[in-house]
Structure 1
Amino acid sequence: MQMLLDGLKSLYAYLAVIPVIPFLLIYFGYQFITEDRKKAFRLAMDVTTVFLIGCVAMLLNKLFDGSFGIYTILLIMLLGGGLLGNVQFRKKGAVDVKKVFRAIWRLSFFMMSVLYVLLMVIAASKAIFFQA
């Protein structure tokens, strides 16, 4: 059982380092099966967000010598969900939690993608130019 968990951790780590790979695998695989580009893109976004969150959290921890990366990301997502839920409540009188969650999850994909590129450039620059 422990070997299986270690294998899953390793697989996640490898896929999280370059999240473009799982995105492309899921996108083209699902598109091949269903022939629906929209659904394939959405599914690829949803799955890749998990990998992006893990990678961005690790990069934040590495760059700032801390362990608060995942908590910062989750806090921002929760705050965004609360704000979006508040807007929805004021506009419609009720909150559709599923729609709020989906919106925050997909916005997180774009936010994590930008942060991934930015933090990778910073980490690479730091490793190249500031070696001690």
Structure 2
Amino acid sequence: MDWIVKNVNYLYAVLAVAPVIPFALVYYIYGAFVKDRKKAFRMAMDVTTGLLIGCVAVLFDKIFNSGFGLYGIMLVMLLGGGLLGNLQFRKRGAVNVKHIVKVVWRLGFSP
């Protein structure tokens, strides 16, 4: 059982350090099934965002010698979602949570 966890951690580390590999894999494989390159690009971006968030959290923990990396990223994402939800509520009178989650998650992909 220990070797499974070790191999999964190793695989995650390789994919997170070289995000071009999972991006390209998801883009081409999902694109072959869906036949829509825009949808495939968005899916690849969503998958890569999860890997990059984990990578940045670990780097933050190593550089600053803390355990706050992932929590800090999640805090910023929650605050961004709250601000976007407030803006959407003031403009439209209702909140589309699915849209806000998608926007915050995709903003996490950009530098």
TM-score (structure 2 length as normaliser): 0.92
* Aligned equivalents of 1:80, 1:3: Cα separation in 2: 38
2:47 equivalent to 1:18: no
In structure 1, the gaps of 5 or more residues are: 115-132
2:80 equivalent to 1:69: no
Structure 1 residue 106, shift from structure 2 partner: 0.5
Structure 1 residue 2, shift from structure 2 partner: 4.2
TM-score (structure 1 length as normaliser): 0.78
* Aligned equivalents of 1:64, 1:20: Cα separation in 2: 26
* Aligned equivalents of 1:102, 1:53: Cα separation in 2: 15
Partner of 1:104: 104
* Aligned equivalents of 2:42, 2:61: Cα separation in 1: 29
In structure 2, the gaps of 5 or more residues are: none
Letter in 2 for 1:15: L
Structure 1 residue 30, shift from structure 2 partner: 1.3
Structure 1 residue 28, shift from structure 2 partner: 1.3
Alignment coverage as a number of residue pairs: 111
* Aligned equivalents of 1:59, 1:41: Cα separation in 2: 26
* Aligned equivalents of 1:94, 1:6: Cα separation in 2: 45
Deviations 1:79-122 (A, max 9, x none): 00000000011011111111110010011111xxx2xxxxxxxx
Structure 1 residue 58, shift from structure 2 partner: 1.1
Structure 1 residue 41, shift from structure 2 partner: 0.3
* Aligned equivalents of 2:32, 2:99: Cα separation in 1: 27
* Aligned equivalents of 2:64, 2:6: Cα separation in 1: 27
Deviations 1:26-70 (A, max 9, x none): 111111222211000000011111100000111111221222111
Q: How much is the aligned-residue C-alpha RMSD, in angstroms?
A: 1.3
Partner of 1:130: none
